[in-house]
Structure 1
Amino acid sequence: MSVFDGQSSLDESVRQRLRDLAKAQRRLFQNPLSVVGLLIILIVILTAVFAPVLAPYPEDSGDTLHFDQTGEPPSLEHPMGTDAVGRDVLSRVMFGARISLLMGLVVVSIAIAIGVPLGLLAGYLGGWVNTVIMRVTDIFLAIPPILLALAITAVLSANLWNAMIAIAFGWWTWYARLVQGEVLSVKEEEFVEASESLGAGWFRVAFKEILPNIVAPLTVKATLDMGAVILVGAALSFLGLGAQPPTPTWGAMISIGRDHVTSEWWMATFPGLAISFTVLGFNLLGDGLRDMFDVEVDE
């Protein structure tokens, strides 16, 4: 076979991948719920990025107090009312989006950084390496993530970064299990055998050949996990184990508002709606990506 034939074959392979990607994108945008999820996430991201500009009272995201405006109901001046110390709830909800997205991004990134390499090693090397890694994974999987996070944050000082580390400490197991299963099905493919026959080492085969071919299920899993992590993070904040006052977090706002829920319902309702809105967006987009890539991911 000539060099030109090899180049032609490579170009055709690239063109086929581009055609497959175009078809997958059409499937994504033909699903109305996926588009809705994408729009929701874009709204939340833009709100978080431009919170200092969009928030009507950006100073209320800090320790500002307005005792002459405590517990005011929703109005044109305060569309979501004010809290127990007179701060604008809408402004704090907008700034709270930053904390929630940061938590989701950091936790998922740490979980991927730990779980993916371990899953690759377990699936590709097999033997005692697979046994050790998977048994440790099973131990962590036996403990609910929220309980593990509660235990760790109870030992460490309560703040945002410790809360993120605590959640990620048990979240990596899902990625290790997912990647290990995907590797077991991919490593028997011809391109892996060809790479091994050319003398490629295990590191190159695992990280250069196999990993790029399992990006699709990882992307779906990460998108779905963003919503789940935001929910767990809100639960920790609700219990006082997340970011500490006066930092605005949705979970802490609900915790404070629950004491006034019968008289000032807006204090807890609007942060709760923000959590539901954001989690719904990630779940809808994750389902759309799953259909787009045509993969199955354990949730």
Structure 2
Amino acid sequence: MKEDGIRASSEGKEPEHSPPGVVLVPRPSSHPQDPLVSIWPQEHLWPRNNWPYRRKQLILATLCLASFSGAIAPLSGQLNLAQQAKIYGKTRVQESYANSAALAGMAFGPFFFAPVAHRLGRSSVIFWCILCALVCQIWAAVMTRSDDYIPYIISRLFAGFFGAVPTVLGPRVITDLLFLHQRGRAFMALHMAFLFGTIAGPTFSAFISANAFFPVEFWWTVGLLGATAILIFLFLEETGYDRENPDRNPAIPTNWLANRWATFFFGQRLVQPTTWSVTVSDHPLKN
């Protein structure tokens, strides 16, 4: 079995010293870089973890927040259209094109970034996409002149293009962190965060901007996205590990600052070596 370019050996086999009736998929290794379980001591019912569950829970919570914030950003200007229609000299139907642009970006952005994450690292791509979504929110908030209609629509397109990425890359992180029998609730939490974001974005923004100038419906999301980016920088990690060929796994810096620098500014240092041709061949549209 091969998951996200990380091969898992001995699928479906019960490892030595595992609790009765438990079959681990994929089978873990004993290497400290492996996010899965290291060994199953006979004197304990549950395994000792290479990565403690608290560490995994922080990563999952950060992914959920990124998914939530990323979904809020492109849809935050969905309901309060009257002021913009008056400023831009457009009908409300024409103003609603911003929502169509946001949804188009949310549909196509992940197709671009999913293969790129193979090359640059998932954590790095999520981090920079959240920052780019933040920039798009500022861009939309300053579009207050009569000739800003087209730039405003484009800002919504790119907000969706970047904002949906954490929801698509998140499941691949969950696959690295958890065994098959543990993933269901994690997937549910991640996608519920995304769905709640699609509802919360227009709802909260309409409430906040009901008696205010329309840019406030974007400004409040800037703070949320900024806080999300900080938490991603603090807690998100690269999780891929090749258990069949451990020598292919890059060394992870143990110093915290060096680790953060390598993860988010040169993310390819922490992913398995690959080429752009292999990256393109793994594109979902080719499967």
TM range (shorter): 0.3 to 0.5
* Structure (1 or 2) with the greater helix fraction: 1
TM-score (norm 1): 0.31
Larger radius of gyration: 1
TM-score (norm 2): 0.32
